[in-house]
Structure 1
Amino acid sequence: MPVTDVTTDAKNLTMTVVADLAAPIDRVWGAYSDPRQLERFWGPPGWPATFTHWDHTVGGKANYTMNGPRGEKASGTWEFLEIDGPRAFTVLDSFADESGTPDPNLPSMRMTFTFEQTAEGTRMVNTSYFASAEALETVVSMGAVEGTTLAMSQLDAVLQGLRDYAQGKGTNVELLDDTHVRITRLVEGPRELVWRAHNEPELMKKWLLGPDGWEMTECVLATEVGQSYRTSWAPTGDTEGEAFGFEGESLLIDAPKRSVQTERMIGMPIETLNDLNLYEEDGATLITLYVEYLDKETRDMILATGMADGMEASYARLERELLAV
């Protein structure tokens, strides 16, 4: 993760984030001054941001909405106070409705971003200035420190490019905290086809099989929010193992970018929240799955089943059977 330090200072009414980034200053500035790049890391995992308005001039405004996995929304607005590219910019950041109207019941803060070239890349310092101790406490209590740290953990993929970030690394599992895991896999193929491969039964049955020797015996998918799905697998031939399956409900569908579902192993009460995100760059698609577990014990138990190995076998088959055609 690029964040090296997050501190709050009740005396000076500030929160400061320091991040050391392995990219030149012009590249970092590009990520912060382009809304399409910025929205890939401004919201924390599970709450991606969409910038709906962008006027990158002094006095101009930017409006954004972060979309939670269960349909929740949290919006904000920036007013650009100073712009000194590629070294710094300052905004007035306010909680707002989706149209960009500030919420008078929640605090606003002045945020400065500075970028300094280092031997390894660029150091970014983001300092938020609050009008009162109560305002600082309110924002911190809303999870600003944890959310900022997790949001910044997505920046490497933006700055490096998808292939440099993930090519050849297979299925990568990152523990974000005690209950959240991020799983990534780069596949060579367009996002539209990768989305179809996750949402069309005849395609899913060709690749979503785990290790060799298994077949998908049931594939009932949810095509609308609120619908239920059910998928089952069984061993074939001399393969050892017992049939199993998963079921759950669709919470969000934003084709071809994102889908969120609950997931339970059939016959078991344990439920996870699976947040699938697809991003395409230069013909390659980064599959990112955020998984929310009930607790650390459940997380560790499920990861210990060899889940990641089974996913890697399936993703390799996806490239081999579908994307290479």
Structure 2
Amino acid sequence: MPSTQEKSLRITTPSDEEIRITRNFDAPRMMVWDAYTRPELVMRWLGRMPGWSWAECQMDVREGGRYRWVWRGPEGVELAVGGVYREVVPGERLVSTERYDQQWYEGDAVGTVEFSEANGRTTLVTTLRYASKAVRDAVLQSPATSGMESGYTALDELLASTTAA
């Protein structure tokens, strides 16, 4: 079993506008791909926040296709994000735009998720490009990274249960 260090979230800033997040998973690449691209699986790990639940999860995973994710929180507050898939290479690469309905930073982000596998383990590298260094820095100061690790822990659990099934 891999150590926590081998699975922990690693965050770097390769440029003034980018954040790169790297995380390893104990599952084959196509299983991780499915967990990223099938709505019924995405809802089991992404955006799991105490007091919040999924209100909408639409995904048309093809070039030019759209996605929209909406969570409902305490007192009916909603958090909604959506975008367009720019590039889809099954099992290898997913590129999409990202824009929140309640825009808290300038412009759209562009996310590139790359999937690679060695010895039955998948390395996921997500690169997020923002409109400016100021936006990138604001995102780095937000609770996004702790939320991402929480989601990836839930993804670990989903992948383990799928592997065991």
Q: Same fold (TM over 0.5)?
A: yes
TM-score, scaled relative to structure 1: 0.46
Map 1:186-265 onto structure 2 (within 5 A): 186-235=24-73, 242-265=77-100
Higher relative contact order (CA 8 A, sep 6+): 2
- Indicate yes or no: 2:6 matched with 1:167: yes
Distance 1:241 1:293 in 2: 29
> Which of 1 and 2 has greater Rg?
1
Alignment partner, residue 273 of structure 1: 110
Out of 23, 30, 43, the residue aligned to residue 185 of structure 1 is 23
Count of residue pairs the alignment pairs up: 158
SS at structure 2 position matched to 1:178: coil
> 1:265-319: CA deviations, max 9, x gaps?
1142621010001111112111110111110111111222211100100110111
Q: CA deviation at 1:210?
A: 3.5
1:210 and 1:311 in contact (8 A); partners too: no
Report the CA distance shift for 1:313/1:192 in structure 2 as closer, same or farther (over 3 A).
same
CA-based RMSD: 2.0
User: Given residue 202 of structure 1, which amino acid in structure 2 is its aligned partner?
Assistant: E
Distance 1:280 1:263 in 2: 26
SS at structure 1 position matched to 2:112: strand
Give the 4+ runs in structure 1 shifted more than 6 A. none
- Alignment identity in percent? 28
SS at structure 2 position matched to 1:167: helix
Report the CA distance shift for 1:209/1:289 in structure 2 as closer, same or farther (over 3 A).
same
User: Given residue 318 of structure 1, which amino acid in structure 2 is its aligned partner?
Assistant: L
Report the CA distance shift for 1:315/1:241 in structure 2 as closer, same or farther (over 3 A).
farther
Alignment partner, residue 315 of structure 1: 152
The runs of 5 or more residues in structure 2 that have no matched partner are none
Distance 2:123 2:75 in 1: 32
Distance 2:79 2:107 in 1: 14
2:79 and 2:102 in contact (8 A); partners too: no
1:217 and 1:233 in contact (8 A); partners too: yes
Out of 128, 140, 148, the residue aligned to residue 303 of structure 1 is 140
Report the CA distance shift for 1:172/1:210 in structure 2 as closer, same or farther (over 3 A).
farther
The runs of 5 or more residues in structure 1 that have no matched partner are 1-162
